[in-house]
Amino acid sequence: MGTEAVQFEQVTYRYPGAPSPALEGVTLSVLPGERLGVLGPNGGGKSTLLKLALGLLPVQQGRIGVFGLTPAEARGRGLIGYVAQRIDAELGFPLSVRQVVELAAGWRTPPWRRLGGQARARVDRALELTGASALADRPIGSLSGGQTQRAMIARALATDAKVLVLDEPLVGIDAAGQQQFAELLATVHRATGVTILIVSHDLRAIAAGCDRVACLARRLHSHVSPQGLTPRVLAELFSHDVAGLAGVGGLAGVHVHAHGPDEPCPEHGPTPGPVGLTVRGRGTAGGGTP
Amino acid sequence: MNLLRYFDSWATAELVLTALAAGACVVVMCSLLSVLVVLKRLAFIGQGVSHSAFGGIGVAAVIGAATGAAWAGQGGVVEFGVVVTFCIGAALGMASVGTAGGAGRSRPIEVDTGIGLFLVASMALGGLLVEAARALAQRLGHPVGARSWESILFGSILTAGWGDVLVAFGLLVLTVGVAWLARRPLLFWAFDETCAPAFGVPGTLMRTVLMVLLALATVTATKLAGVVLASALLVLPGATALKLSRRLWSVLALSVAVGVGGLVVGLAVSLQADLQPGPCIVLAMVAAFVAAGFWNRLGSGAAPPRSETA
């Protein structure tokens, strides 16, 4: 305990006034340096999971730890770097890419001080890692979608984050951009060893850059039979969002297995939980099975 | 009257100088904030806040008429306090309607509807209360403390005294000071309201700071341009500057330049042609905005914003 980068224990969350919980009894752990993809249909509770990990929603039931700290503490120390689902930022702001990254690295700097040398070094490194150095002096609003995403990843890294959290990173990015994104993420991971948590409804997107994939749907636990879960069954479970999961059946080397509540996962050892479905992407970097 | 003849005697020159000094404080404060107002699309909230000043003026007028005291009447401490309270309350109220849909997913009413309601309710309340104050003052035999309709709606910068200048200057220092102290988290939050909290930026606090500053600027702007035109000061300088530049510091400098320029030109025209100063100032700023638009069209201004694809 405490060694996990991110740990969820029996977490249940219900939005105020909602008839049913968005998340129920979720147990999940991400090891330091691991790249975990969380896969699920729209409305399956993925964004809720992220908001809980970021401390943007209060923990109602269960326990969440980020490097042994509460999400709010981890956030306070800048351990989590967040890249949002769509770019909600006001891109018309008269800010350069460097200024945007500097805001994340140095917003805590006392107002009477200039940005410190360490913060500047972090900004330079983050821009370099994401290949955004050449864009540094461009106005943020003048970038393409892919370039903006690079800037946003640079911003997330500039806080010296130990966990990089990406919400639906490939929405609206074309095939070539997806390839570039996967390469960018691999570069960042190699250079920093940062833990990466990606949330998406697109398995193809996740499998490309993750060591492990966890499936999440609010009611998944009540529908899963412990044995015999095949990609086809999985697709049926997600039937209200088949389009987003079209990659499951056809994706070579993806192995799906499941286990019931409180049963140890046959492949990953003692990580039991009601939502105990794990899809393991074989053949992806670091994803080798015993 | 010819413009230069105002400077023949100190009495008339002082009239112009106090108007310029008070106006400059108001305009600089509003111009700086207007950049954020435009970028965060708060123009309608600004409109709502300035109109809620009317409700505050009405309440103050009734207090003034009932007590008959000078400090409680037009331009007095009580009026200022009541109007500031009204405006800050309105700003925070409207901002909270805007964010209520966040985590709870239950937005009681749409933001536009909320602001629209606030605006007309405050205008109606203010209108009735000012009337009531006049009647009350008459019955009690007190001097009529209520402002004229013209001064409420279009401002009365030429009646500003050195006391008003002092108040405006104090508010300017306060606004610039707070904005400077909070500039990094404020800018981070303003740029990316969704993500900034995930980086630890206190979003609610930043929103409150911005809304309080906006309310203070609006209150002082109603003195210059009245309830109807105050929000123009919170939109036009920033909108004009953003047409001309995409660099933070030059946008802020241009915005202040447009504000001060509009004040000087508008005031000069109003004195020369014997017109209301408020509308003249606002129209001078509108002219600057239109000119900036043409300048931008010619291709010499800021790069056009990226087409929305994300």
Q: pLDDT higher for A263 or A26? A: A26
Mean pLDDT score, A274-282: 36
Answer for the pair B190, B214: CB distance below 8 angstroms, yes or no. Answer: no
Tokens of A112: 């009477």
Counting one residue from chain A and one from chain B, the pairs whose CB atoms sit within 8 A come to 110
- The pLDDT tens digits of the residues spanning A206-240 come to 666 677 777 777 644 322 322 333 455 455 445 43
Taking 70 as the threshold, does the pLDDT of residue B292 lie above it?
Answer: yes
> Which one-letter DSSP state was computed for residue A193?
-
The total number of residues written for chain A in this structure: 290
Taking 60 as the threshold, does the pLDDT of residue B138 lie above it?
Answer: yes
Cα(B185)–Cα(B202) distance, integer angstroms: 8
pLDDT at B72: 59
Mean pLDDT score, A254-276: 42
Render the burial of A81-102: b for 16+ CB within 10 Å, e for the rest: bbbbbebebbbbbbbbbbbbbb
> What is the interface pTM, i.e. ipTM, of the complex?
0.81
Contact assignment for A56 to B197 by CB distance below 8 Å: yes
pLDDT at B286: 95
pLDDT at B75: 62
Q: Which of A6-20, A72-86, B274-288 is most confident?
A: B274-288
Burial of B105 (0-12, 13-18, 19+ CB in 10 A): exposed
Tokens of A253: 């080397």
Domains observed in chain B:
3-297 (1.10.3470.10)
Cα(A58)–Cα(B15) distance, integer angstroms: 58
Burial of A72 (0-12, 13-18, 19+ CB in 10 A): middle
> Half-sphere exposure of B111 toward its Cβ, with a 13 Å CA cutoff?
15
Answer for the pair B259, B239: CB distance below 8 angstroms, yes or no. Answer: no
- The pLDDT tens digits of the residues spanning B195-222 come to 888 888 988 899 899 999 998 898 888 8
pLDDT at A274: 33
Q: Does A159 lie at the interface with B, CB-CB under 8 angstroms?
A: yes
Taking 50 as the threshold, does the pLDDT of residue A95 lie above it?
Answer: yes
With beta carbons under 8 A apart, name residues in chain A contacting B39: 90, 92-93
Q: Rounded to whole angstroms, what are the CA distances from B196 to A80, A82, A96, A132, B95?
A: 12, 9, 17, 21, 17
Q: pLDDT higher for B84 or B30? A: B30
pLDDT at B34: 94
With beta carbons under 8 A apart, name residues in chain B contacting A45: none
With beta carbons under 8 A apart, name residues in chain B contacting A107: 184-185, 188, 199, 201
Mean pLDDT score, A25-38: 84
Other C-beta atoms closer than 10 Å to the C-beta of B42 total 26
Contacts of B131 (CB under 8 A, 6+ apart): none
Contact assignment for B309 to A94 by CB distance below 8 Å: no
pLDDT at B146: 60
* Per-window interface: B 100-139 vs A, CB < 8 A: 103-106
- Beta A80-83 vs A163-167: how paired, if at all? parallel
Taking 60 as the threshold, does the pLDDT of residue B103 lie above it?
Answer: no
pLDDT at B173: 96
Q: Does B39 lie at the interface with A, CB-CB under 8 angstroms?
A: yes
Nearest CA in chain B to A137: B247
Mean pLDDT score, A84-113: 87
Taking 80 as the threshold, does the pLDDT of residue A149 lie above it?
Answer: yes
Nearest CA in chain B to A173: B310
With beta carbons under 8 A apart, name residues in chain B contacting A164: none
Nearest-5° angle of CA A138, CA A142, CA A147? 80
Residue A276: band (very low, low, confident or very high) from pLDDT cuts 50, 70, 90: very low
Mean pLDDT score, B180-191: 94
DSSP secondary structure of B170-223: HHHHHHHHHHHHTHHHHHHHHH-TTTGGGGT--HHHHHHHHHHHHHHHHHHHHH
Express as a percent the part of chain A with pLDDT over 90: 17
Answer for the pair B254, B208: CB distance below 8 angstroms, yes or no. Answer: no
pLDDT at A226: 26
Q: Does A109 lie at the interface with B, CB-CB under 8 angstroms?
A: yes
Residue B310: band (very low, low, confident or very high) from pLDDT cuts 50, 70, 90: very low
With beta carbons under 8 A apart, name residues in chain A contacting B188: 103-104, 107
Cα(A240)–Cα(A227) distance, integer angstroms: 22
Contacts of B164 (CB under 8 A, 6+ apart): B18, B22, B75, B223
In three-state secondary structure terms, A112 is coil
- The pLDDT tens digits of the residues spanning B43-100 come to 888 888 888 888 888 888 888 888 776 665 566 677 888 888 888 888 888 777 765 4
With beta carbons under 8 A apart, name residues in chain B contacting A199: none
Cα(B46)–Cα(B218) distance, integer angstroms: 7
Mean pLDDT score, A85-111: 88
Contacts of B255 (CB under 8 A, 6+ apart): B31, B32, B34, B35, B237, B238, B240, B241
Mean pLDDT score, A35-60: 84
Sheet holding A254-258, edge to edge: A80-83, A163-167, A195-200, A35-39, A212-215, A277-281, A254-258
With beta carbons under 8 A apart, name residues in chain A contacting B180: 111
pLDDT at B249: 93
Nearest CA in chain B to A74: B200
Helical residues (DSSP H) of B40-182, grouped into ranges: 43-67, 77-99, 111-140, 149-154, 162-181
Tokens of A100: 């945007």
Nearest CA in chain A to B303: A142
Which helix (H) or strand (E) segment is B224 a member of?
A: helix B203-233
Cα(B215)–Cα(B238) distance, integer angstroms: 17
> Which among B198, B201, B246 has the least Cβ separation from residue A107?
B201
Q: Which of A72-76, A263-267, A271-275 is most confident?
A: A72-76
Q: Is B68 left (phi over 0), alpha (psi -120 to 50) or beta?
A: left
Cα(B37)–Cα(B239) distance, integer angstroms: 9
Q: pLDDT higher for B149 or B188? A: B188
Mean pLDDT score, A82-86: 81
Answer for the pair B237, B30: CB distance below 8 angstroms, yes or no. Answer: yes
* Per-window interface: A 21-60 vs B, CB < 8 A: 54, 56-57
Answer for the pair B152, B226: CB distance below 8 angstroms, yes or no. Answer: yes
Query: Nearest CA to CA, how far is B105 from chain A (Å)?
Result: 8
Contact assignment for B192 to A89 by CB distance below 8 Å: yes
DSSP secondary structure of B7-47: GSSHHHHHHHHHHHHHHHHHHHHHHHHHHHHHHTT-HHHHH
CA A270 centroid distance within chain: 22
pLDDT at A288: 30
pLDDT at B194: 84
Tokens of B214: 């906006």
pLDDT at B274: 87
Residue A205: band (very low, low, confident or very high) from pLDDT cuts 50, 70, 90: low
- The pLDDT tens digits of the residues spanning B6-29 come to 778 887 888 889 999 999 999 999
> Half-sphere exposure of B126 toward its Cβ, with a 13 Å CA cutoff?
25
Q: Rounded to whole angstroms, what are the CA distances from B77 to B29, B213, B271?
A: 21, 19, 29
**Angle, helix B183-191 to helix B162-181, in steps of 10 degrees:** 70
Mean pLDDT score, B121-142: 86
Contact assignment for B198 to A143 by CB distance below 8 Å: no
pLDDT at B301: 53
Tokens of A203: 């398995």
Tokens of A43: 């409305």
Mean pLDDT score, A260-287: 39
Q: Which residue shows structure tokens 């306070």? A: A76
In three-state secondary structure terms, A285 is coil
Mean pLDDT score, A15-42: 83
pLDDT at B110: 74
